[in-house]
Amino acid sequence: MKNQLFTILSLAFLATLENSLHAAEPKTDLPLVFSEDFEKGRERWEATDEKSWTHREVEGNKVFGINRRSSNYRPKVRSPHHIALVKDLEVTDFVLTFRVMSTKDTGGHRDCCIFFNWQDPQNFYYIHCGASPDPRSGQVMIVKNAPRAPLTKNTNKTPWKNGTWHQVKVVRDTKSGKIEIFFDDMTKPHMSVVDKTFGKGRIGIGSFDDMNDFDDIKIWGK
């Protein structure tokens, strides 16, 4: 009887795990153009400050993360310091998914950032997943030859938890201008806005001045 119960529970766990893995895959007609689990290194990434990033193993799993809050990178206009961009890839429309873990609790502005439609260091969008939103934190931002400015008036706090991997999804449609980000809850956008300023460009991960580990990054796009 105990063996039967163990078997039933094991099958239920495997089914739940399989469903969660499938749920992480977004529904999109776009082709998969990039996949990264960092198990073979991080050579496909270009960082604004190589000394601030570390490719390392955590509990048998390889990750790529920011190892300090300070950075030697000083952008010409007020914008994030920790940026790692995918090499040799530019897309217009895309769906991006990844896992992120905050490795240092810095309070209200604790964050990770997602960069997209990157034209150059002074022209791009980024999403700031700040713990407590205000006009400088927890918003979809634009950098256009000037200090970063919010495109949203978001009031949703980003639910960071210590020692926890969070699932993130970003959806970009350049024709409609739609930008959506999902954080843990893949059914309801954490933030959304419409803007058509930038089209085809690069994609990256990072932070304004916080510390995170990243893993399991996938991009569907064109």
Q: Where are the domains of the chain?
A: 30-221
Residue 7 identity: T
Burial of 84 (0-12, 13-18, 19+ CB in 10 A): buried
Closest residue by Cα to residue 209 from 14, 47, 31, 73: 73
- Whole-angstrom Cα distance, residue 148 to residue 192? 17
pTM: 0.89
Element (H, E) at 4: helix 2-24
Average pLDDT, the chain: 91
Confidence (pLDDT) at 18: 42
CATH number of 30-221: 2.60.120.560
Q: Between β-strands 113-120 and 202-207, what pairing exists: parallel, antiparallel or unpaired?
A: antiparallel
Confidence (pLDDT) at 1: 52
Q: Is 5's pLDDT higher than 70?
A: no
What percentage of residues in the chain have a pLDDT greater than 90?
87
Confidence (pLDDT) at 24: 59
Write the secondary structure of 158-204 as one string of H (helix), E (strand) and C (coil): CCCCCCCCEEEEEEEECCCCEEEEEECCCCCCCEEEECCCCCCEEEE
Average pLDDT over residues 147-165: 97
Contact 214, 99 (CB under 8 A): yes
Q: Is 80's pLDDT higher than 50?
A: yes
Confidence (pLDDT) at 63: 98
What does the pLDDT look like over 179-219, one tens digit per residue? 999 999 999 999 999 999 999 999 999 999 999 999 999 99
- Whole-angstrom Cα distance, residue 119 to residue 128? 18
Residue 112: band (very low, low, confident or very high) from pLDDT cuts 50, 70, 90: very high
What does the pLDDT look like over 17-56, one tens digit per residue? 444 444 458 999 999 999 999 999 999 999 999 999 999 9
